[in-house]
């Protein structure tokens, strides 16, 4: 699943200080209210600073890179980046009713990273993500789901890391969701692919992430996906 987990060890403490924002900071970075826009089908990316593209221009974040790939292949989808820096799985759950006010064809869900950084209860994180998936299924036309897995920092101990890692594989299997085992595979721990904080990917790192996500997302796409609308940022 991970080329070399030992490469993550040097960022463990820094992760806790840099990525985890306070609840007040989460609210401050909330996306604007959704508005209807007749367009091609929407792929909604819900996530943390990793999805938001912390430290980069919007077009450099991996969701935008995937949007460019969609355009190149002539696939009629529109990318919506609803990443929020510092957000936990509980915060993502609170946003879902709001985010799903407009139809979504595919949900790409990246959440839980900040739960792990804060050492939050693994079962609470699992329950929040399951609740998100349950909420998605209640839609009149439920979107397809791609779940992006994450790793806990190694300074929290091997047992916590193992249980945290298992959340994502278990939920993907139980909910028959498409799955990427580790979003930052091939990026985490490589200094040349991360910003000076050692945590958030550079533009080149986001390109690597986009390649990883694209491999799992591509089979979910259909050539004639038109007519949906979704939220704008």
pLDDT digits 0-9 by tens, 105-152: 999 999 999 999 999 999 999 999 999 999 999 999 999 999 999 999
Q: Is 200 a catalytic residue?
A: yes
Predicted local confidence at residue 3, as pLDDT: 41
Predicted local confidence at residue 114, as pLDDT: 96
pTM: 0.83
Predicted local confidence at residue 194, as pLDDT: 97
- One of 49, 85, 89, 230 is an active-site residue; which one? 49
Q: Is 206 a catalytic residue?
A: no
Q: Which residues in 196-207 are b (16+ Cβ under 10 Å) and which e? A: eeebbbbbebbe
Give CB contacts under 8 A, 24+ apart, made by 53-62. 53/81, 53/83, 53/206, 54/85, 54/195, 54/200, 55/195, 55/197, 55/200, 56/202, 56/203, 56/206, 60/203, 60/206, 61/206, 62/201, 62/206, 62/207, 62/209, 62/210, 62/213
Tell me how far CA of residue 54 lies from CA of 57, 83, 84, 202, in angstroms.
8, 9, 9, 9
* Higher pLDDT, residue 62 or 10: 62
Predicted local confidence at residue 218, as pLDDT: 97
pLDDT-wise least confident of 43-47, 135-139, 224-228? 224-228
Residue written as token pair 């064809």: 105
Q: Tell me the average pLDDT across 158-163.
A: 97
Instruction: Report d(CA 144, CA 34) in Å as an integer.
Output: 20
Predicted local confidence at residue 39, as pLDDT: 55
pLDDT tier at 102, thresholds 50, 70, 90: confident
pLDDT tier at 222, thresholds 50, 70, 90: confident
Instruction: Report d(CA 160, CA 156) in Å as an integer.
Output: 6
Predicted local confidence at residue 225, as pLDDT: 58
- One of 89, 115, 200, 228 is an active-site residue; which one? 200
pLDDT-wise least confident of 5-19, 158-172, 201-215? 5-19
Reply yes or no on whether the pLDDT at 19 is more than 70. Answer: no
CATH code for the domain defined by 5-29+39-220: 3.40.50.1110
Q: If we measure between CA atoms, which residue out of 111, 107, 108, 109 comes closest to residue 88?
A: 111
Sign for the CA dihedral angle at 169, 170, 171, 174 comes to positive
- One of 39, 185, 197, 232 is an active-site residue; which one? 197
Percentage of residues of the chain with pLDDT beyond 90: 76
Reply yes or no on whether the pLDDT at 18 is more than 70. Answer: no
pLDDT tier at 40, thresholds 50, 70, 90: confident
Residue written as token pair 């806990």: 152
Longest pairwise C-alpha distance within the chain: 48
Burial class (CB in 10 A: 0-12, 13-18, 19+), 215: exposed
Predicted local confidence at residue 14, as pLDDT: 42
Q: Tell me the average pLDDT across 67-96.
A: 97
């Amino acid at each position: 699943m991970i080329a070399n987990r030992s490469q993550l060890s040097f960022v463990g403490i820094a992760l806790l200080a840099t990525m985890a924002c306070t609840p007040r900071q989460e609210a401050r970075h909330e996306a604007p209210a959704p508005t209807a826009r007749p367009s091609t089908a929407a792929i909604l990316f819900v996530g943390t600073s990793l999805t938001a593209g912390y430290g980069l221009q919007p077009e450099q974040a991996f969701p935008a890179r995937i949007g460019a790939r969609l355009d190149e292949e002539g696939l009629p989808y529109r990318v919506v980046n609803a990443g929020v820096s510092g957000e936990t799985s509980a915060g993502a759950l609170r946003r879902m009713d709001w985010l799903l006010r407009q139809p979504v064809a595919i949900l790409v869900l990246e959440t839980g990273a900040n739960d792990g950084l804060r050492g939050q209860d693994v079962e609470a994180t699992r329950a929040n993500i399951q609740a998100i998936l349950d909420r998605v299924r209640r839609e009149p036309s439920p979107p397809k789901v791609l779940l992006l897995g994450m790793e806990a920092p190694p300074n929290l101990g091997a047992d916590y890391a193992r249980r945290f890692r298992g959340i994502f594989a278990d939920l993907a299997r139980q909910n028959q969701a498409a799955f990427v085992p580790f979003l930052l595979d091939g990026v985490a721990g490589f200094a040349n692919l991360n910003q000076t904080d050692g945590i958030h990917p550079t533009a080149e790192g986001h390109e690597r992430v986009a390649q990883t996500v694209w491999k799992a997302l591509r089979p979910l796409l259909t050539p004639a996906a038109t007519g949906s609308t979704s939220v704008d940022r």
